[in-house]
Structure 1
């Protein structure tokens, strides 16, 4: 691999000639003719100015076979990474460093679940979505057999194997895991609860607080299940090794005709996902008799999870519901292969798994399961360090085969709102907020998931008693009682990963919800006028204001005396006047985040230790809890238990400010008026091979600074740290705006580009546009596409 890297660098150094040689050997083919075996009729693909394929076919099978081919030539290595995460086979390609990641995913049960889903798939009869899926897979495999394989395989000394339906299910499994917040959070909450006690815990937002913003429900009238509506080193360190991004959250809102200038629905969606190269979503426009669809596809998944026809649009955000519980078991003292369960015992099942490792011998790996699920002690360090008792994972996703492929087909091909809901019902996990708008004027949101009913005494964030059957779930909430809102009087629906309102039984469904700062800004902004347009709504989608942080800042400033910091009057005044805007010329965020970090560190490291403190900063709790922590004047967190003095809030806030200002002077100079936020921001979209130098300079996509923030509508997230340099690690994976008054004028943008092939002109052509807040069209009008296309492939 080192020799190949040197050869590649040498070729690039040679300039144009070297680049053209590499492009000839590894670059995609966008012009000319290609023969696809089994194609029923000639299919045309027009690539627009941004590399989006517009596929014109005579049948669904031809359209999806062609999509499989063009998707693979732009994103095959991304498909490889995602299927290997979901099948637990990363070490086979990337080496021993990924062995622990493979062990984790295999223990959690994702590869086994993919096999379960594949067996169910093969046992079912024929269907339109099965035929289309198989055609897509056929197209992918024809590219693998006949196309130019991406250079990443050559660098790794590997060749891709055929793509299978099991790989499709594995990719869905990877996506589902990234939505599963419990395994990243519950061990820490349990440890804190056990070691620190209730006085510490009540100063944190483990559960939703009254001041958090709630998504209102609006349940429709129904006839049976039909709608009656108008018919128009830690686990965190381990996961950092993943060569694919994690889904982090999202925004979506749909505005009813009563609030738009056009008198028709406006639809907006921006999914928040870890930054990566290539971008997560692959856009494709399909046209065949009876179907016209513009969609956003995951690598290896044939149907767009987000997309629109000329009559309806589908979007999504993460529901963030709690669908995973952990049971701490107790072993039978006379038989280590049994757990105590009720008044008797339950056997522990064991199976051996073989993991292939690149350039190493295979590893045999034992996976043990109780009646509640797989035991995680061996693969989650936080659990192993907390208890010697087996801790088993009960996770809704692995309990039954996924029907996500069928669901996405049905929602994309739906003729009305009822058919979209019928598709949403099929998603048992992960929890998704399905967003909907249509040409008839309907707007809707469904929290789509199979929700377990837990006993009233159960705290789902704390390890449960594996010996007690009374801690287990007792049934499932009917889909009709899931959170949802259909055509509310407010004239909009919106979701931003925050808590839905109470269910029909009066309870808040537990989850890992954000505090609702984004939702509140979206709600207040939409409600402020009744003449929204596609252009005016961009201001909201690009907004970087957080209203909670200035309130936090004012509380902190009330605990200090500015006269104690005479050299820093400018930055302290700026923080006092701060609106929560994160523009690159602002100076207030530069001090705010540094100060908050040092406050939290001074409060918590003495109780948690440095590693658990860093883990805490990566949880939903950290976002939700900071205001409460700062307001809790008598909280035990304020005292440093390692000193004889009993510290109070004022002590910690002033100490943290002194430390912050000293560091910022060293970092940015003595004049605090020049501490612009842009100087603290880095932005890069990392490629799976970019973790190795010098490949980072070849494959990664770096950009100018962007308005990094915590919980603004245009969420560009980073990890809070004491260095004062913040690397944006997630943000909108696309920004979509559509007004049904003119579907052909709908717009979107990707963070880098449409292609994942280094030698494609569309590898990073949208990166600067994304940073600058620009959009580009989602073309659907045939005469425009065929009159302005950049390149054309004909499949015969």
Structure 2
């Protein structure tokens, strides 16, 4: 027994040694000295109490080189996942389960477009943004070559290849795709249009409805001038993505006339899929003549969101429709040609080979028309809808990519004019660029190339590809894009809702949200003129949706309570709900299951289970629900599989009966225990976290959150029959700035700054985020040094 005990002790000691060794070789270095190649001078870095690097360089090149090194130290595996999605090479690293994802992105054209952009950049003369980008890439590659690689590579038995500027272009391509909602929506709209007709479409909010809220335009007439200074479905396929999708966002900027400080207030929270690590990497860059505190996408050297001491930029999704689909007519004599006007044109046929880990390569044939690539083979919904080829025309692939230049210019801008000029360079994805500055300007630009479509085209229904007039050929000028510069209201707000008409009086089509979030913010800002950023915390964290309780009360009003005597107490919760989604509420638990069953019983008989799932994942569901529910003559009420004609009341009664029985079985007889927190799972999944036991190592699970579909603090989930809802997305950061004290603004990330599992900053902000707390964004050196440990000095080799 003594020998067994000694052996066990030795085994345990060896295990501890192995764990400590693993930690030591995979942990980021946050202090001390590191010699790295490529620097001209030493760079001093202070990491504050939440691991945000404050990088002090002596010139631009050294500072961006240091940023690349540090970004890779904390987020290299996230960069790996992002670039592999954008280059269509996931299967090479993760195996055959990801082949379909690679096929999809290669067919869509993102890797090829990245290569074209890279070639175009190499032909240009040297520019500041190119030099800064190349310095950043050198820093990333220095870490890959000599740094402590993250644990994920050891688990996969891989070493990363060198990073390239082509990878950055591929990453921006993936970001653009996540903003392109058409692939998830247009096949469904076309299906309903063809199978059921306009009567059924008209019962949904395919286009905006009168009760929805529009963003008002205010074209420039007053700008302050600064002083001179310095599944068998696309949905199930995309569920396999090891990186999050960018989904929505809120932002508002308040002028000094409505703030207590008399200075501009700035707020932004971008809505992005939950993941570990979360999307944004914060970095504060300082070198002579430049200072900027930015939020960076993995592998991108410039902040998409951020602020200097004199200006701030933020973003939300514009949600404009920038992708059309064209059904092609094949040549009866040649399946490799299609009709276009009075002639038949040959498809361009590309053959590619997809490398698959541990297996033989997979061949891929891509057919391209004048409209774009044929998507049938990689989008099951299109394959099921028609046997004709359907080609994708996408703005992103039809203009030169100047995203890096635009971001560099916005980070380095000296005034509002330079930001506007940079915004004009963005062609896709469509972004709402939000702006505020220290001299009182506030602004919003809808930045995108907006195509001029033919009157023959419904932008959400497949068009006739044989008619040349259906193909967009021109753009509206940027000066006609929606925008608001220093409006008399004293604020600008965007929340993914429809902007008002262009100068020409046209509403540009899109996939806009109904504007409930916009209205709640607008109502709050109208209520007073002495706002502080501490007051704005309450607005940013609000979980109220006014429309949902109205919808629920309408349903209750159509139901005979005598049919539900067993559940009489339930009606009190349904009638008295104010639309809040706090975790102790009862009504949301009832409401979302009830809405699911109403949609299921109404729509599944006409369009099937897969299309219903697709619908529940679109903007249309959120935008249509109130309109859908309150339409007594809605054709969807009738079950086409029965002889009798079902009514609105029939569907409501049956749905409530199922809902209450399921909740009773799920949570028990005591209705007071049907709390919302029991239905919510909040977890930030890691790319390797889908495999047990790696989920326990890498995923970040938090307490239940006040999940909801359309309040300001939007924590989104998918409706389902299970009644357990996984929060799929939410604010990927929360930022609040008062230009009266721009050096101490607020922010918080959903998990932490680092993506390295052995970093103390891997999930140190998770509880702050879940509990609605914030931390400082420091800019003053004294604050930074007080909050930091010893500096990290990056020295020339």
Q: TM-score, normalised by structure 2?
A: 0.97
Equivalent position of 2:6 in the other structure? none
Equivalent position of 2:541 in the other structure? 542
Equivalent position of 2:647 in the other structure? 648
Moved more, 469-478 or 351-360: 469-478
| Structure 1 residues 425-444: aligned runs within 5 Å | 425-444=424-443
Over 3 Å counting, the alpha-carbon distance change for 1:609 and 1:375 in structure 2 is same
| Structure 1 residues 725-764: aligned runs within 5 Å | 725-764=724-763
**Distance across 2 between alignment mates of 1:771 and 1:12:** 36
**Distance across 2 between alignment mates of 1:594 and 1:187:** 26
Give the superposition deviation at 1:381. Answer: 0.5
Note if contact 1:251-1:317 (Cα within 8 Å) is conserved in structure 2.
Answer: yes
Over 3 Å counting, the alpha-carbon distance change for 1:139 and 1:200 in structure 2 is same
Over 3 Å counting, the alpha-carbon distance change for 1:710 and 1:13 in structure 2 is farther
Equivalent position of 2:220 in the other structure? 220
Give the superposition deviation at 1:475. Answer: 1.2
Alignment deviations for residues 470-499 of structure 1 (CA, whole Å, 9 cap, x no partner): 212241100000000000000000000000
In structure 2, the residue corresponding to 1:452 is in which secondary structure?
Answer: coil
Provide structure 2 residue ranges, at least 5 long, that are not aligned to the other structure: 1-9
Alignment deviations for residues 379-426 of structure 1 (CA, whole Å, 9 cap, x no partner): 000111111110000001011231111100000100000000011011
Give the superposition deviation at 1:337. Answer: 1.7
In structure 2, the residue corresponding to 1:537 is in which secondary structure?
Answer: helix
Equivalent position of 2:161 in the other structure? 161
Note if contact 2:234-2:379 (Cα within 8 Å) is conserved in structure 1.
Answer: yes
Over 3 Å counting, the alpha-carbon distance change for 1:770 and 1:19 in structure 2 is farther
Note if contact 1:668-1:675 (Cα within 8 Å) is conserved in structure 2.
Answer: yes
**Distance across 1 between alignment mates of 2:142 and 2:273:** 30
Moved more, 316-325 or 625-634: 625-634
Give the superposition deviation at 1:15. Answer: 8.3
1:189 partnered with 2:189:
yes
Note if contact 2:45-2:791 (Cα within 8 Å) is conserved in structure 1.
Answer: yes
Equivalent position of 1:677 in the other structure? 676
Give the superposition deviation at 1:564. Answer: 2.2
1:316 partnered with 2:282:
no
**Distance across 1 between alignment mates of 2:445 and 2:97:** 40
1:44 partnered with 2:44:
yes
Equivalent position of 1:32 in the other structure? 32
Give the superposition deviation at 1:636. Answer: 1.3
**Distance across 2 between alignment mates of 1:182 and 1:19:** 47
**Distance across 2 between alignment mates of 1:45 and 1:13:** 36
Note if contact 2:38-2:138 (Cα within 8 Å) is conserved in structure 1.
Answer: no
Over 3 Å counting, the alpha-carbon distance change for 1:483 and 1:665 in structure 2 is same
1:198 partnered with 2:235:
no
Equivalent position of 1:460 in the other structure? 459
Moved more, 32-41 or 91-100: 32-41
Note if contact 2:31-2:789 (Cα within 8 Å) is conserved in structure 1.
Answer: no
Equivalent position of 1:82 in the other structure? 82
| Structure 1 residues 476-555: aligned runs within 5 Å | 476-555=475-554
1:630 partnered with 2:663:
no
Alignment deviations for residues 702-752 of structure 1 (CA, whole Å, 9 cap, x no partner): 000000001000000001111111111100000000000001220100000
Note if contact 1:453-1:477 (Cα within 8 Å) is conserved in structure 2.
Answer: yes
Alignment deviations for residues 12-62 of structure 1 (CA, whole Å, 9 cap, x no partner): 998865543221021111121111212111111100000000000000101
1:590 partnered with 2:589:
yes
Equivalent position of 1:560 in the other structure? 559
Provide structure 1 residue ranges, at least 5 long, that are not aligned to the other structure: 1-9, 222-226
Equivalent position of 1:117 in the other structure? 117
Note if contact 2:224-2:440 (Cα within 8 Å) is conserved in structure 1.
Answer: no
Over 3 Å counting, the alpha-carbon distance change for 1:351 and 1:553 in structure 2 is same
**Distance across 1 between alignment mates of 2:634 and 2:13:** 60
Note if contact 1:43-1:66 (Cα within 8 Å) is conserved in structure 2.
Answer: yes
Note if contact 1:87-1:110 (Cα within 8 Å) is conserved in structure 2.
Answer: yes
Give the superposition deviation at 1:11. Answer: 11
Note if contact 2:427-2:448 (Cα within 8 Å) is conserved in structure 1.
Answer: yes
**Distance across 1 between alignment mates of 2:616 and 2:717:** 11
In structure 2, the residue corresponding to 1:535 is in which secondary structure?
Answer: helix
In structure 2, the residue corresponding to 1:579 is in which secondary structure?
Answer: coil
Equivalent position of 1:224 in the other structure? none
Equivalent position of 1:577 in the other structure? 576
**Distance across 1 between alignment mates of 2:631 and 2:16:** 62
Over 3 Å counting, the alpha-carbon distance change for 1:453 and 1:57 in structure 2 is same
Alignment deviations for residues 437-486 of structure 1 (CA, whole Å, 9 cap, x no partner): 00000000000000000122321000000011121224110000000000
Give the superposition deviation at 1:563. Answer: 2.7
Alignment deviations for residues 270-314 of structure 1 (CA, whole Å, 9 cap, x no partner): 000000000100000011000111000001000010000000000
Give the superposition deviation at 1:566. Answer: 2.1
Note if contact 2:95-2:358 (Cα within 8 Å) is conserved in structure 1.
Answer: yes
Note if contact 1:116-1:401 (Cα within 8 Å) is conserved in structure 2.
Answer: no
**Distance across 1 between alignment mates of 2:356 and 2:519:** 48
Note if contact 1:330-1:339 (Cα within 8 Å) is conserved in structure 2.
Answer: yes
**Distance across 1 between alignment mates of 2:576 and 2:528:** 27
**Distance across 2 between alignment mates of 1:641 and 1:756:** 51
**Distance across 1 between alignment mates of 2:66 and 2:110:** 29
**Distance across 1 between alignment mates of 2:719 and 2:315:** 27
Over 3 Å counting, the alpha-carbon distance change for 1:557 and 1:331 in structure 2 is same
Equivalent position of 1:142 in the other structure? 142
Over 3 Å counting, the alpha-carbon distance change for 1:44 and 1:597 in structure 2 is same
| Structure 1 residues 773-784: aligned runs within 5 Å | 773-784=772-783
In structure 1, the residue corresponding to 2:643 is in which secondary structure?
Answer: coil
Equivalent position of 2:345 in the other structure? 346
Q: TM-score, normalised by structure 1?
A: 0.97
**Distance across 2 between alignment mates of 1:201 and 1:280:** 36
Moved more, 622-631 or 698-707: 622-631
Note if contact 2:223-2:486 (Cα within 8 Å) is conserved in structure 1.
Answer: no
Equivalent position of 1:240 in the other structure? 239
Equivalent position of 1:257 in the other structure? 256
Give the superposition deviation at 1:790. Answer: 2.8
Note if contact 1:432-1:449 (Cα within 8 Å) is conserved in structure 2.
Answer: yes
In structure 2, the residue corresponding to 1:253 is in which secondary structure?
Answer: strand
Note if contact 1:430-1:449 (Cα within 8 Å) is conserved in structure 2.
Answer: yes
**Distance across 1 between alignment mates of 2:670 and 2:154:** 51
Give the superposition deviation at 1:341. Answer: 1.1
Moved more, 537-546 or 334-343: 334-343
How large is the RMSD of aligned CA atoms in angstroms?
A: 1.4
Aligned residues: 782
In structure 2, the residue corresponding to 1:249 is in which secondary structure?
Answer: strand
Alignment deviations for residues 53-95 of structure 1 (CA, whole Å, 9 cap, x no partner): 0000000101000000010010000000000000000000000
Alignment deviations for residues 224-260 of structure 1 (CA, whole Å, 9 cap, x no partner): xxx8554462011110000000001000000010100
**Distance across 2 between alignment mates of 1:663 and 1:174:** 40
In structure 2, the residue corresponding to 1:378 is in which secondary structure?
Answer: helix
Equivalent position of 1:393 in the other structure? 392
